């Protein structure tokens, strides 16, 4: 099945973190997912978490350069959300048999496995960031995430010059790398 060109455009928008694309997908499919979750022992918060995770899966797929879903976007989102929710119910050890399938599904196990792997990596990074503490975290976030230049950062964080800031940033970075790689080695066999 050929993917709708409009949906391909949406995925391209996702890859660029295009707010408009996110909004469109959100509007079209969120209510369906919410109904699915609530009808199967979930709350609205659960619905939001699951839907957003599905959006991340979609984002990763778009970022990897494949915009061919081989099915409708709706079916894809439904399948991913159903799978994610089942997994979460199992983790909570709730009494579930099988979520009754109200619309067709496609196999999404491979994507979810890759997503799970990346998710753990991101969580390791987040954990490491939290562990290095302030002001290291803010300093590194400013440099690597917000990608501001050293001079700007030095002024913002009250360092006398860029070299001082650079010095500080280096120390922080070394600590972060140490923490991250320790966790990374533990988690990858």
Partner 1 sequence: MEEMQLLDAVERYIANEMPAEERAFFEQLRKTNPEVDQLVVEHTMFLQQMDRFSDWKQYKSTLHEVHVQLAEAGSIQEKAPKATIVQLWKKYQRVVAVAASIAGITALTISAIAYYFAPKPASEIRLLSQELANVKINQKRTDQKVDQALMNHTPSFRPPANPKSGGTGFLIDGKGYLVTSSHIVADADSVYIQNTKGDFFKVSTLYVNKQTDIAVLKIVDSRYQPIKILPYALQKNTADLGEEIFTMGFPRPTSEIVYNRGYLSAKTGYNGDTSTYQLAISANPGNSGGPIFNHSGEVIGILSSKQNTAEGVVFSSRTKNIFTALHEIRKDSTNEDRIKLLLPSSIKGLDRVQQIKKIEDCMFMVIRY
Residue 18 backbone dihedrals phi, psi, to 5 degrees: -85, 115
User: Where do we find the tokens 């609205």?
Assistant: 44
User: Where do we find the tokens 């994507």?
Assistant: 111
Q: Around 17, how many Cα atoms within 13 Å sit in the side-chain half-sphere?
A: 0
Residue 59 or residue 67: which is nearer to partner 1 going by CB? 59
Residue 17 or residue 92: which is nearer to partner 1 going by CB? 17
- Taking CB under 8 A as the criterion, which residues in 90-119 touch partner 1? 95, 118
Q: How far apart are alpha carbons 122 and 139 in whole angstroms?
A: 19
The helix (H) or strand (E) run that includes residue 47 is: helix 44-63
Cis peptide before 88, with omega less than 30 degrees from 0?
no
Verify binding: residue 30, partner 1, rule CB under 8 A: yes
- Taking CB under 8 A as the criterion, which residues in 42-61 touch partner 1? 43-44, 48, 52, 55-56, 59
- Taking CB under 8 A as the criterion, which residues in 123-182 touch partner 1? 125-126, 144-145, 147, 166-167, 170, 173, 177, 180-181
CB of 1 to partner 1, least distance (A): 27
Q: Return the ∠ at Cα 166 (arms to 165 and 169), rounded to 5°.
A: 85
- Beta-carbon contacts of 17 under 8 Å, excluding residues fewer than 6 positions away, are 59
117 within 8 A of 153, measured Cβ to Cβ = no
**The one among 38, 101, 102, 151 contacting partner 1 by CB under 8 A:** 38
Residue 106 or residue 125: which is nearer to partner 1 going by CB? 125
Verify binding: residue 17, partner 1, rule CB under 8 A: yes
The footprint of partner 1 (CB under 8 A) covers 17, 19, 22-23, 26-27, 30-31, 34-35, 38-41, 43-44, 48, 52, 55-56, 59, 63, 95, 118, 121-122, 125-126, 144-145, 147, 166-167, 170, 173, 177, 180-181
């Amino acid at each position: 099945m050929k993917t709708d060109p409009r949906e391909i455009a949406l995925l391209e928008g996702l890859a660029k973190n295009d707010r408009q694309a996110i909004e469109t997908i959100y509007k079209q499919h969120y209510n369906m997912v919410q109904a699915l979750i609530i009808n199967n022992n979930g709350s609205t918060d659960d619905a939001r978490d699951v839907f957003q995770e599905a959006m991340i899966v979609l984002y990763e797929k778009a970022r990897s350069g494949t915009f061919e879903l081989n099915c409708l976007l709706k079916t894809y989102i439904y399948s991913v959300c159903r799978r994610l929710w089942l997994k979460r119910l199992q983790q909570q050890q709730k009494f579930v048999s099988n979520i009754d399938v109200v619309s067709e599904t496609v196999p999404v196990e491979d994507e979810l496995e890759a997503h799970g792997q990346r998710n753990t990596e991101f969580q390791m990074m987040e954990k490491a960031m939290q562990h290095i503490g302030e002001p290291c975290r803010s300093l590194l976030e400013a440099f690597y995430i917000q990608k501001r230049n050293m001079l700007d950062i030095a002024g913002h964080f009250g360092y006398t010059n860029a070299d001082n800031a650079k010095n500080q940033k280096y120390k922080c970075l070394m600590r972060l790398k140490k923490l991250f790689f320790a966790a990374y080695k533990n988690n990858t066999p």
